[in-house]
Structure 1
């Protein structure tokens, strides 16, 4: 696989939810294109990447909704590699429970991770990017569940609400980031072959892989390819939707 048009030599990339699925595929693809990558996840089990990427990827354990932990992540990222120039808000959880049977804790957990986490990391990215006067790019991972007038499925109300919020956050921050050279965009994939999908919707088949989505993320992050794209939400109708 070769994409010589995407080069991120010495760019510093921070990816939440980077231990598996879309996050991990994105981390490896950025590293393959020369970037220095920090990933986070709530999983405390140490992660290993192939020798090819080992020196270019660092993984940190952090609860994405914990503001103090996030501050530590940004500080560590700057100390290890330098200030963040690209942020990918990928961390998310899903709860498959009918609204009538759902406990409020289930709702709160999804909203806390999916919305609060993205807000915290975006705010800290803005702070760091503005302080270093380097501009930057933020890519949020939404979902077709967060796009109006597309069929929704029962059992996913908190996830759906959270992904609508991510689209609203993207459009709002895109406006605020203009004067600082910060672009904010989102991708709204349908069914992607990930562990989360299989747990939430066992039996749903799709040929769309995390790498397919990672390639779109790199396109949005690349100033040479997408410098005029800002505030866009890109729906991705995957095989199986």
Structure 2
């Protein structure tokens, strides 16, 4: 295990998270701890980046599990974190009358509670100079006043919680040398978007958005703190 600073990326096995890892390693030469449920996909990502200028560590786990956060902390060890990209997300689509308490519990656990607990557990490794940067990947569906869509009430509510958490974290952690922002993504060509909106053709690729998210993770703290920033050409 290297003692070089690194970035933690959750939801790293596919979509925007996977492409953000690739950009961090290949373009920015930053070591990454890639976290996701799909061990096989993580291994493929690690192999894809094996000849790059930086290193990818992988950790296969389900963020909905009770021991997920301690396992991430243990893997990070005492290393300095340059950033935490809370990208893992859960989508469910239901008619309004069909939502259950379990549905809401599952959505809020992955989309809001675990980002909170991960940042809380890793704050000492993020604190310092330059400031560590927590970037929460939100959704335009979780932005007040944005277009809303039938079937996504639970998902949008959980992403609204994440946006509010970001603003609170920025204030709470300001004196610790940690900055926090939320990127509210619009339509990106990912499996999650295709599940939510079958047949819709997104105007932005996962590769393009992942590269921009990686850049923001490393540079955005210089210009923003406690902000919920839309990144959308369409919604959807």
The TM-score with structure 2 as length reference comes to 0.88
Give 2:168's match in structure 1, choosing from 168, 172, 177: 172
Aligned to 2:77: 78
Aligned to 1:3: none
Aligned to 1:31: 25
Residues 105 and 176 of structure 1: is their aligned pair in 2 closer, same or farther, counting only changes over 3 Å? same
- Alignment partner of 1:66: what SS? coil
Contact 1:88 1:141 in 2 (8 A): yes
Per-residue deviation at 1:162?
Answer: 0.7
Contact 1:65 1:120 in 2 (8 A): no
User: Separation in 1 of the partners of 2:66 and 2:7?
Assistant: 19
Aligned to 1:56: 55
Per-residue deviation at 1:63?
Answer: 1.9
Aligned to 1:7: none
Question: What stretches of structure 1 move > 4 A for 4+ residues in a row?
Answer: none
- Alignment partner of 1:100: what SS? helix
For the pair 1:111 / 2:108, whether they are aligned, the reply is: yes
Stretches of structure 2 that go unaligned for 5 or more consecutive residues are none
User: Separation in 2 of the partners of 1:238 and 1:215?
Assistant: 16
Give 2:231's match in structure 1, choosing from 228, 232, 236: 236
Alignment of structure 1 residues 197-216 onto 2, 5 Å:
197-216=193-212
| Aligned residue pairs, count | 228
Per-residue deviation at 1:128?
Answer: 2.6
Per-residue deviation at 1:104?
Answer: 2.5
Aligned to 1:123: 120
- Alignment partner of 1:140: what SS? strand
For the pair 1:217 / 2:213, whether they are aligned, the reply is: yes
Contact 1:143 1:189 in 2 (8 A): yes
- Alignment partner of 1:213: what SS? helix
User: Separation in 2 of the partners of 1:96 and 1:47?
Assistant: 30
